[in-house]
Every structure is written in C-alpha cells, then in structure tokens.
C-alpha cells in the first residue's frame, strides 16, 4: 500500500507538460530457438513523453515482459529513451525506442535446459492510434532484442498489440 501511495504521489507531482501513459499488451514472440514455435504473454509498462516540441516528443519508457511457458520463456524489465512523432492532423503516433535492462530466460529441454538472468536489450517500433481522448490502441509494436552471453543465440522478435491509457 505504501508503494502505491508513493507511486501516486510521484505521478501527481510530475510537470503538467508531461504526457504519461500506462499500457498493457498481448505479445507473441519468436525466440528463434530450435524446436520452439511462437510463445505468448504480456508486455506492460509506463512511459513519460517529457520533452515536447511541435511534431515530436522525447521521453522515457519502463516496461516489463513475461512471454512463454514450458520449455522456453523470458521475463524481464527494460527502460530507455523513447522518440514519438506527433503529426497532429492524424490520430496516430509512431514511436521508436532503444531499451536496456535485465531478463531471466529459459530454453531447451531435458539435460540441455538452460536458465540464466542476463543483460537484455530491445529495439522497439510501433504505432498508437487515439480512439478516445485518453485511450489509445497500440495497433502494432515490433521489437527485436537479445540476451548477450546467454547460452546459444537468443534473439526474441516480438509482435504486440494492446491498450494505452494516457494520464491527464
């Protein structure tokens, strides 16, 4: 309860010009691991488009991802810069991000099963569509990432779609 109160206090004290959004997405990832197909899960997070000029906004994004079950999965947290294009004529906002953090990944079967927590990176691009004053549909988001040092090649390619709630 104390953490929730601290978070609410943090959000209330941010500058009025900031554009904060909370989001949740359904995610499908292809890990490019032998004998493993598409894995499903969720991506959730918060962004703050803090610096705004006409047509562009620059901010930060913090997110968590939990994708996969069984033999192949990844669960991690990432943060990094976010650049948004705001055309103002159309209700869409394309964006790109470069994120870094840590993730726990598991892959393989039987004695070949490997699990480790490692540094993770992600390059993200997507498009949000505003359909209600404070609600956006995250039409599509594509991310390419990796876990350097993880046994073998582990480079998830993830497609997501979801909802964004922008705070006033």
Summarize pLDDT for 98-135 with one digit per residue, the tens: 999 999 988 877 777 788 888 999 999 999 999 988 89
Mean pLDDT of the chain: 86
- Catalogue all structural domains in the chain, each as residue range(s) with its CATH number: 18-166 (2.40.160.20)
Give 131-142 pLDDT, tens digit per residue: 988 899 999 999
Q: How many residues are recorded in the chain?
A: 168
CA dihedral in degrees (130, 135, 139, 145; nearest 10)? 120
Quote the pTM value: 0.83
Of 62-66, 92-96, 153-157, which gets the smallest average pLDDT? 153-157
Q: Which of 22-26, 71-75, 80-84 has the lowest mean pLDDT?
A: 71-75
With a cut of 90, say whether residue 64 has pLDDT above it. yes
Gap between the Cα atoms of 152 and 146, Å rounded = 11
pLDDT band with cut points at 50, 70 and 90 for residue 150: confident
């Amino acid at each position: 309860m104390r953490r929730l109160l601290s978070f609410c206090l943090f959000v209330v004290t941010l500058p009025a010009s900031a554009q904060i959004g909370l989001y949740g997405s359904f995610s499908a990832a292809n890990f490019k691991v032998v004998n493993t197909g598409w894995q499903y899960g969720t991506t959730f997070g918060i962004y703050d488009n803090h610096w705004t000029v006409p047509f562009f906004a620059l901010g930060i994004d913090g997110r968590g991802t939990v994708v996969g079950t069984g033999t192949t999965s990844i669960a991690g947290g990432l943060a990094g810069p976010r650049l948004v294009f705001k055309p103002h004529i159309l209700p869409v906002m394309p964006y790109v991000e470069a994120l870094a953090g840590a993730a726990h990944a598991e892959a393989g079967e039987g004695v070949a099963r490997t699990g480790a927590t490692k540094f993770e990176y992600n390059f993200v691009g997507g498009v949000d569509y505003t359909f209600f004053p404070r609600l956006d549909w995250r039409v599509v988001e594509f991310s390419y990432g990796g876990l350097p040092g993880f046994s073998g090649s582990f480079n998830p390619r993830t497609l997501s779609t979801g909802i964004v709630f922008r705070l006033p």
